[in-house]
Amino acid sequence: MSTRLSRTQFRNQLLSLMDQKHHWAWSIFSGPAIAKSKLKLHYQQEFGVYVRDFPVFLARIYGQNPPADVRAMLAENIYEEDTGRLSLGRSHPELFLKMMKGLRYPAKAFTHITLLPASRHYRLWLDRVSVHQDWVVGAAVLTIFVEGSKHDRQELQASTVPMTRKRLEAIVRQHPLVCHHGVSPDAMDLTRAHQMVENGHRHDAYNMVVTHATTRARQDAVLVAIKKSLRLWLRYREGVALACRVRPLSRERA
The tens digit of pLDDT for each residue in 106-165 reads 999 999 999 999 999 999 999 999 999 999 999 999 999 999 999 999 988 875 667 889
Cα angle value 49/51/56 (rounded, 5°): 90
pLDDT range class, residue 250, cuts 50, 70, 90: low
Determine contact, residues 6/216, Cβ cutoff 8 Å. Answer: no
131 to 56, 84, 137, 220: CA distances (angstroms):
11, 25, 10, 19
Determine the 3-state secondary structure of 193 from DSSP.
helix
Cα angle value 85/57/110 (rounded, 5°): 75
Q: How far apart, in whole angstroms, are the C-alpha atoms of residue 23 and residue 83?
A: 31
Res. 253: pLDDT tops 70: no
85-117 in b/e burial notation, b at 16+ Cβ within 10 A? eebbebbbbbbbbbbbebeebeeeebeebebbe
Exposed/middle/buried for 121, CB within 10 Å: 0-12, 13-18, 19+? Answer: middle
pLDDT range class, residue 25, cuts 50, 70, 90: very high
Residue from 12, 229, 73 nearest 138 by CA: 229
Tens-place pLDDT, residues 197-220: 876 789 999 999 999 999 999 999
169-208 in b/e burial notation, b at 16+ Cβ within 10 A? eeebeebebbeeeebeeebbbbbbbbebbebebbebbbeb
Determine contact, residues 16/153, Cβ cutoff 8 Å. Answer: no
Tens-place pLDDT, residues 172-192: 999 999 999 999 999 999 999
Residue from 119, 135, 128, 106 nearest 40 by CA: 106
Determine contact, residues 236/121, Cβ cutoff 8 Å. Answer: yes
CATH fold group of domain 7-244: Heme Oxygenase; Chain A (1.20.910)
